[in-house]
Structure 1
Amino acid sequence: MKASFSDKMFYTFNYTMLTLIGLSCLLPLLHIVSLSFSESHAIHSGFVSIWPVGWELESYRVLFDNTRVIPALWNSVQITVVGTVLSMIATTLTAYPLSRNYFYGRRVFTLAMVFTMMFGSGLIPHYLVMKQYGLIDSYWVLWLPSLINTYNVLVMRTFFDNIPEEIDEAGRMDGCGEWTHLIRIVLPLSMPVIATLTLFNAVGYWNSFMNVLIYINDTEKYNLMVMIQQMIKKDSVLSEVMALQPGDIADVTGEGIKAAGIMVVVIPMLIIYPFLQRYFVKGVMLGSVKG
């Protein structure tokens, strides 16, 4: 069907706006990448835009050799991996029974969970509760309160609800119990929602900032996000690094080190996303039920 003039105008406007929005997100990232790989004199002179000038890795070398970025990176990996695994297990085990029609009281439990989305305890009561349980200065203070996200549970429960009943009945006829049915039938069919929620949880834990800043007092347990934020906040970052290794980092700038730190924060999520992207668009249910 041939597109009308109004359709062409709409498509042109739509593509133009999407392109501008995409560039507004991409250009700042390209600028940070360029700063992290550029020579110090180019950064000082303001010649760096979206393409590196000089192409060198001194900023990264100084960042990894003279700051606590590696311990902070390890802390972030611990927080993200353990938190994501625990959250996905808890979310799955909560959503599955709520999706079963024969689960007694599932409507009551669902309404109780939705109620928690409308009201919050506030920062100070939450802090006092965490302190009362002895979770301050422990990563459990990050994991336990975020173990179950009501929105994620509702999304997964809805996906489980959409699995055709014929599949459930076929599994029951083959003698599947609840655990076997969940692990061998439901979860393989639910990879799109599992991948999506895994990415949401991983990004949330990786970007943990306020909770770490409030509940973690030991600087040795700071994650990468807090460490990089403090580095960016301090204008004296280069002088502090030079005090540790004087004369060895004359060819770097504070802006270059900060940019390198930002890239260390961003790169892991950019690496993980392509591996999960295919599940977002994969029609895993297509053809699973044949008439």
Structure 2
Amino acid sequence: MKQAGSRLSPRSFAGHALNYVFLGLLSLCTLYPFAYEISASFSSSRAITAGEVFVWPVEFNTEAYKRLFEDGQLIHAMGNTVFVTAVGTLLNMIMNVLAAYPLSRKRLIGRGPLLLFITFTMIFVSGIIPNFILIRSLGLMDSYWALWLPGLISTYNMFVMKSFMEGLPEEIEESASIDGAGNWRILGQIVLPLCKPILAALSLFYAVGWWNSYFNVMLYITSSDLHTLMLKLYQIIKQVDASLLDGGGGEGVSNSRLTPEGIKAASVVIAIAPILCVYPFLQKHFVKGVLIGSVKG
């Protein structure tokens, strides 16, 4: 038998109902663009042009994906992107840990000036032209190191990890130190296992950034064999648009079942699909890491 006090009052019930309705509408507004892009990528040219595509594909076909994958360059570019993302994220996390851990300990000599100097870099940035001149003078043009080295560490992400580490009990480290553990052993066997949530969250942040990066690739990478997925998709879309402006003479637009809108929709699906597949496995740690790391310190 339910207690009378456990029942919601009419006002509370109405408030909960409004919350559910609002969140439901917000979810629909968030999910609909994804559903539309997926549907448009599998729909015919006529259906897209006529505005008949909403949630489900109309006149199902895969011409847009065939156009994107027809020469194998996109698969090669995707492999380049996976390599750049994996190595870049690994380097980012190594540098983040090596910077955040000592700065999170008050016993570090010169901690205050170091934090002030690092904070200064968040306010003042060099700009595109000085960075380009620096990369060229170092001989890093047409090399992935031109992408990795300038972005080895994000000051904001480093401060998030530092805040998380400051919330760890210092007694654990003191006990390990008494037992003879050195700084590297404490970091590797005690601190990092406790930092799994923030490590997962920042890894996802960095990975998404590397995966979506195309501007720096366009600036520093001249060899087409080193181009990444986003730049290759950008070039394909420009090529299809140019073919359309030329009167449809291009191979990608001459097919009556294919439009630039379909190519763009398929490009969006290809670009976001890998991240959407990875996120569910990191969601638990991601949410916890962001919440804890952003409020402590």
Q: TM-score, normalised by structure 1?
A: 0.86
Structure 2 residue identity aligned to 1:28:
P
1:71-90 aligned at under 5 Å gives the runs 71-90=76-95
Which of 90, 96, 102 is residue 91 of structure 1 equivalent to?
96
Which of 31, 34, 37 is residue 26 of structure 1 equivalent to?
31
Give, in angstroms, the shift of residue 79 of structure 1: 1.3
Q: 1:172 to 1:16 in 2, by over 3 A?
A: same
Q: 1:237 to 1:176 in 2, by over 3 A?
A: farther
Give, in angstroms, the shift of residue 39 of structure 1: 3.7
Q: 1:123 to 1:6 in 2, by over 3 A?
A: farther
Query: Does residue 149 of structure 2 align to residue 144 of structure 1?
Result: yes
Q: 1:49 to 1:102 in 2, by over 3 A?
A: same
Of residues 227-236 and 113-122 in structure 1, the stretch that sits farther from structure 2 once superposed is 227-236
Which of 260, 264, 269 is residue 270 of structure 2 equivalent to?
264
Q: TM-score, normalised by structure 2?
A: 0.84
Q: 1:123 to 1:83 in 2, by over 3 A?
A: same
Residue in 2 that maps onto 1:65? 70
1:109 and 1:6 map into 2 onto residues whose CA distance is 54
2:114 and 2:10 map into 1 onto residues whose CA distance is 53
Of residues 197-206 and 24-33 in structure 1, the stretch that sits farther from structure 2 once superposed is 24-33
Unaligned runs of 5+ in 1: 284-291
Query: Does residue 178 of structure 2 align to residue 173 of structure 1?
Result: yes
Query: Does residue 240 of structure 2 align to residue 242 of structure 1?
Result: no
Q: 1:237 to 1:277 in 2, by over 3 A?
A: farther
1:51-62 aligned at under 5 Å gives the runs 51-62=56-67
2:73 and 2:67 map into 1 onto residues whose CA distance is 11
Residue in 2 that maps onto 1:288? none
Residue in 1 that maps onto 2:216? 211
Of residues 209-218 and 34-43 in structure 1, the stretch that sits farther from structure 2 once superposed is 34-43
Q: Secondary structure at the match of 1:120?
A: coil
CA RMSD of aligned residues (A): 2.5
2:287 and 2:34 map into 1 onto residues whose CA distance is 26
1:91-240 aligned at under 5 Å gives the runs 91-233=96-238, 234-236=240-242
Unaligned runs of 5+ in 2: 1-5, 290-297
Residue in 2 that maps onto 1:286? none
1:191 and 1:89 map into 2 onto residues whose CA distance is 14
Q: Deviations over 1:219-274 (max 9, x none)?
A: 33221112212323341468576279x9xx66544433332222111101001101
